[in-house]
Structure 1
Amino acid sequence: MTKTYVITGANSGLGFATTKALTDRGAHVIMAVRDGNKGREAQTRLTGGSSEVRVVDLADLASVRAFADGIERADVLINNAGVMGLPRTLSAQGFELQFAVNHLAHFALTGLLLDRIADRVVTVSSTLHKRGRLDFDDLNAEHGYRHGTAYNQSKLANVVFGLELQRRLRGSSLRSVLAHPGYAATSLQAKTQPGLYRRALLLGNRFLAASAEEGARPTVFAATDPAVTGGQFIGPGGLGEMRGAPRVVQPARKATDPRVAERLWSVSERLTGVRYLSTTVG
């Protein structure tokens, strides 16, 4: 039976590489993209399986709700899309954009779709979650904004969310899995705020980074391998988790504290207006 995957940010970078790998395996992929024209252009480069393009603006929770309303069922949800290294920008609801897109939108989307997902939720994070800190006094980064700090916080939130979702799924047939690409060259780095940070990223892309196709391997493994269990974190198996074949890796210890997770969950429900009902979780 053909499996259906929903993946955010499916038209470029890691998202497109993941989409192509899944369709090459014969899957049906719902490509959740911000720009429909770019999504349809990317769709023309797919040669296997089947796909459909649907528009969602992760910087607007109203758009997330509308998108979720149009999904009847899926086997797997892949929370992949992200923004990185931006000057301080606000979402439609007034939240710092990296936290809004990378965490809040995916928290909301998962909650809205959870009763229609048959197999698993895969949330894509980064090794930079290890540098992150959840500043509950200033999650909106209103004081002393630094784009790298805000990005790292959002990636830590991804891991805390994915692990807490699995705790809440205990006893359910669903599973929550995490993945990270290691150091992969994508368009994400090129869209960061101009300056020394972006130049360093682009230089690293040229000489050190894996391709988007290699970087997508942990996500594809997390989304498809039947042996993957809930709560596992899949990343590259090479030195420093920078690149290599997918394997189980360990999250930062600070991401595993249930008390921090409970607090982030409560805040995320309040900010998004999406409550996870006990009847759909566990």
Structure 2
Amino acid sequence: MAQKSAHKWVETDVPDQSGRTFVVTGANSGLGAEAAKALGRAGATVVLACRTVEKAKPIADEIGERAEVRRLDLADLSSVREFAENTPTVDVLINNAGVMALPLKRTADGFEMQFGTNHLGHFALTGLLLDRITDRVVTMSSFMHQVPGLKLSDLNYEKRRYSRWGAYGQSKLSNLLFAYELDRRLRAAGSPVLSLAAHPGYSSTELMGRTESVQDAFMSLGRVFAQSAYMGSLPELYAATAPGLQSGGYFGPDGFQELSGHPKKVGSNKASRDEAKARELWTRSVELTGVTYPI
């Protein structure tokens, strides 16, 4: 007698989220928009935290009256602080927004744009909101965290030659180091808040075709082979809503090489598990952002 295949987690597995509030960064398009809409369908109140408010309004209109659009520019710490100051209690923070493989640019505070947006902006936001988060923090990384690039002595590419993919890899490894270190600190403090991480596999989003180089043509072609943004959003949706998850977990697609598929718990490389580097990155992040954590 043939065995039943294992259940593949899908959106209908999301428990009722009525009465719960989620903040989703970068919810105006791609993964964030899909996650926000799914949360709205599950009954949640969703704050769409986006740099360009106008782009998020159609997503909010689709969700309905439980959606709120608020401006948040992760590349500007003054915007991060203003957003946090005006945010009440939140059940779940999803650190979803990101930029990918840009030419060398700087944030409003002088940080390399990818590291400043993908890691430092979310590090500051999480720290400023942490005493008002009741359930969990979900931080988006990528299988590109395996690309060499992290250099703690030159996080903002002030000395070394700039590499757009190296900088992206550094930011995504930093996301994982941060998520794991936050988990350790929350556990040490006896906090019930969970720190989880996720990655979308190879998904078709607006990040493709934004490198401002000849690579855009190849990345646009890659959309043909990529899974949909909806499928790519499922790992973060799973991490944000599934009951019984253990803090410190990392979730991605269950398909070949984690490029596509349904959510499952996945592993990450040795560098992401380096606790000494995680502590040093945390210290440097506090120095750069001026944000200290209440744990």
Fold-level match, TM-score > 0.5?
yes
Partner SS for 2:23:
strand
Paired position in structure 2 for 1:80 = 96
Amino acid at match of 1:205: R
Paired position in structure 2 for 1:235 = 252
Query: 1:253: Cα distance to partner?
Result: 1.1
Post-superposition CA distance 1:222-277 (Å, at most 9, x none): 00001221000010011100011100000111111110011000000000000113
Post-superposition CA distance 1:179-222 (Å, at most 9, x none): 00000000111222221x2222211112x100000000000000
Q: Gaps spanning 5+ residues in structure 1: where?
A: none
Paired position in structure 2 for 1:203 = 221
Q: Does 1:52 align with 2:61?
A: no
Partner SS for 2:223:
helix
Q: TM-score, normalised to structure 1's length?
A: 0.95
2: CA distance between counterparts of 1:76 and 1:261? 23
Query: 1:43: Cα distance to partner?
Result: 1.5
Q: Does 1:62 align with 2:81?
A: no
2: CA distance between counterparts of 1:230 and 1:184? 25
Q: Gaps spanning 5+ residues in structure 2: where?
A: 1-17
Q: Does 1:250 align with 2:245?
A: no
1:132–1:155 Cα contact (<8 Å) kept = no
> Matched residues, percent identical?
48
Partner SS for 2:231:
helix
1: CA distance between counterparts of 2:213 and 2:147? 22
Q: How does 1:32-181 map to 2 (within 5 A)?
A: 32-46=49-63, 50-142=66-158, 143-170=160-187, 171-181=190-200
Q: How does 1:12-31 map to 2 (within 5 A)?
A: 12-31=29-48
Partner SS for 2:92:
strand
Paired position in structure 2 for 1:218 = 235
RMSD over aligned CA atoms reads: 1.1
Amino acid at match of 1:175: L
1:119–1:175 Cα contact (<8 Å) kept = yes
Paired position in structure 1 for 2:207 = 188
Moved more, 124-133 or 174-183: 124-133
Aligned residue pairs: how many? 275
1: CA distance between counterparts of 2:74 and 2:294? 22
1: CA distance between counterparts of 2:139 and 2:212? 25
Partner SS for 1:81:
coil
Partner SS for 1:189:
coil
Q: Does 1:10 align with 2:31?
A: no
Moved more, 37-46 or 235-244: 37-46
Runs of 4+ deviating beyond 3 Å? none
1: CA distance between counterparts of 2:263 and 2:58? 29
2:204–2:226 Cα contact (<8 Å) kept = yes
Amino acid at match of 2:228: S
